[in-house]
Each structure stands twice: as C-alpha cells, then as structure tokens.
Amino acid sequence: MLCKDYDAALIDLDGVVYISENAVDYAVESLTSAVGTGLRCAFVTNNAGRSAPLVATHLRSFGLDVHDADVMTSAMAAADLLATHVEVGLAVAVVGGPGVTWALVAAGFRPVAPNDPVAVAVLMGYGPQISWQDLAHACVAIRAGALFVATNTDRTFPTSEGLAPGNGVFVQAVEEATSITALVAGKPSPVIFRSAAQRLNAQRALVIGDRLNTDIAGANNAGFDSLLVLSGVTSAREVVLAIPAERPTMIENDLRCLAENAHPIQAIQPVDHVWDWAGWRARVVGAQVVVEAVDPSAQPIGSVQVAAAAAWASQRVVDVIGLAL
Ligand SMILES: [Mg+2]
C-alpha cells in the first residue's frame, strides 16, 4: 500500500481535503484509514490568515480526527525560519493578521506593531487590515536592518467574490521599495515542508497536493516524494506537460490511492520507445505524446500516468493527445 511506503504525509488542504465548503470525494475516509495503518499526517497550508487551532477545527468539521498540532501554516513555518536567524523571545514587527501574530506567540517571539523600533525582524503575512502606512513602516525597519521574512508569496487569494491580491503582492511592493528580497517560508519554499516533517520526526515523508507550482515544486525543493491528486486545480494535461521542477513522483485521481499500490511515474519504462502501462500505450511522435487504449476496460488515470512517463523522458514534448481525463 502506498501509505505504508512512507511514515508521514504532508497534506495540502484546498483541492485535496476540501473545496470551499465541501469535503473532496473519498478524502475523509481515505485519510482516516491511512492514519489507522500508522501514517502520520500534517496538514500544510500557505494560508497564514488562520491559526492552527482554527484550521484544525475546520478540518474536524469534515469528520477528520485532527489535533491542533497536526496543522502547519506558513506563518508557523515563518516563525521556525525566524528562529534560525534571530533569538527567540525578541520583538518581531507584524504586517499581517491574527494568524501571523498567533504563530509568532506560539513560537516564543514578541509581536509588535510595524512602527515599533525594537523589532529585529519584520514578518509579512495575510491580513485584511494591512495599510499603506504598515508597508511604509516595514520598509523603514527593513532598510534600518530588520530581517525581512514573508509567510508566503502567493500572488492571489480566493474570496467569495473572486481572486484578490495575495500576500506576495504586498511583499513584492516592499521588496521593490527596499531592494531587499524577503526570506520566504511558504510553498514552494522547502522551509514549510521541512518544518512539518521535523515536527512529525518523519524519516520518509510524502507531500500530497493539487498545485504544481506550490505543492509539487515545494516537495521537489525539499527533496521529498510527492503525489499530485487531480481533485483540485491541476488538469491531467497540465501535469503531463509540467516543467521538470514541477513534476510529481506520482499522479492519482484522489486519496483512495493511499490504500492501493504506489505507481511512481519513473517506474514506467519504455520498451523500444513504447510505454505500455495499465492497459494504455504511449509513443512520442514529433513533439507530441500520443496515448491510446490497449485494453477497453483500462482506468482513465492510467492514460495520464503513461503519458507523463513518455513526456518526461523526452526533452521536446509540447503537446499530448489521447488522454482519457
Ligand atoms: Mg491546494
């Protein structure tokens, strides 16, 4: 079973466990069974707006048995990152909301206002009340030598009214104004995954996510295996055509795969330039991967796995045809 191949799973939330108000199909029962077999889980989110207890409460509302300590937010990872540079207990200026302040206090730092001259560092994270004045104070402090740390650099943030500017937009404004680059804790930085793995004392962790440029890139940066599930924002075509830095170890429909055999894409090897796998056959023709069913009862996900194997083995693939998903 896939879940027995790893001692811990570092699991993204949106698109993996839930999508807005609804649990993703099979997620709750699959995770509950996997935990029953001994897999330890951390729920890892770039969202710095909420504290770990609030995220855990939300996850419990779906029926998951989650403890507050099972959650890792990008604000918590940022506090861990801060602790490797400045002494715990010192004052840190907060440009962000309650989730950022909570993480600093939990890590033993003293959160202060952006204009407080005692701050040895500035931590920027999501906060709907952030003002131009806060950004101005952050710039002054950073120019004066305060360490510049960001929870995450997501450019957009989903709201009920549509996409809004994410923390990355505000971080970039301060970077532009100071010519100083922030240290970043959230995905695709490896910091958040390493912090989460360390808290679980994991020797062999698997990252599970639905987004290539955060979850999967972050896993690759951290040196962890990864599983892309197609239950969220990434299409089958997008993962097959992913750039090398954003290619996952495995591709599956959803978390039911935790109870099945693992299917690493790299293990699908060609014979005479033909990739045969799970009732599907793939060839590279010019700049295209062409997939066809060999067995009419083959599962659609196999077409994605075999296409990825063929595409990733070739330097020149720009298109794929014949995917069943
Ligand atoms: Mg996600």
State pLDDT tens for residues 130-163.
Answer: 999 999 999 999 999 999 999 999 999 878 888 8
Ligand 1 centroid vs 110 CA: distance in angstroms? 31
State pLDDT tens for residues 28-54.
Answer: 999 999 999 999 999 999 999 999 999
39: CB partners within 8 A, 6+ apart: 3, 4, 6, 7, 8, 9, 258
What is the residue range of 205's domain? 2-46+188-259
Q: Looking at residue 315, what is its pLDDT?
A: 87
Ligand 1 centroid vs 44 CA: distance in angstroms? 10
Among 219, 239, 259, the domain boundary falls at: 259
State pLDDT tens for residues 216-257.
Answer: 999 999 999 999 999 999 999 999 999 999 999 999 999 999
Catalytic-role residue among 5, 12, 70, 80: 12
Instruction: For residues 158 and 116, state if they share a domain.
Output: yes
Instruction: For residues 128 and 147, state if they share a domain.
Output: yes
Whether 12 is a known active-site residue: answer: yes
Ligand 1 centroid vs 272 CA: distance in angstroms? 38
Among 145, 168, 184, the domain boundary falls at: 184
Q: In CATH, what number is assigned to the domain containing residue 175? A: 3.40.50.1000
CA atoms within 13 A on the CB side of 311: 27
Q: Looking at residue 159, what is its pLDDT?
A: 82
Instruction: For residues 193 and 281, state if they share a domain.
Output: no
Instruction: For residues 118 and 164, state if they share a domain.
Output: yes
Whether 272 is a known active-site residue: answer: no
215: which 2 tokens? Answer: 């979850």
Instruction: For residues 178 and 193, state if they share a domain.
Output: no
Among 259, 287, 311, the domain boundary falls at: 259
Q: Looking at residue 199, what is its pLDDT?
A: 96
Ligand 1 centroid vs 190 CA: distance in angstroms? 16
- SS3 of 197-256: the string is HHHCCCCCEEEEECCHHHHHHHHHHHCCEEEEECCCCCCHHHHHCCCHHHCCCEEECCHH
Ligand 1 centroid vs 212 CA: distance in angstroms? 9
Instruction: For residues 241 and 285, state if they share a domain.
Output: no
User: What angle, rounded to 10 degrees, do the helices at 98-106 and 52-60 form?
Assistant: 110
Catalytic-role residue among 5, 7, 14, 65: 14
In a domain, 206, yes or no: yes
What's the structural domain count of the chain? Answer: 3
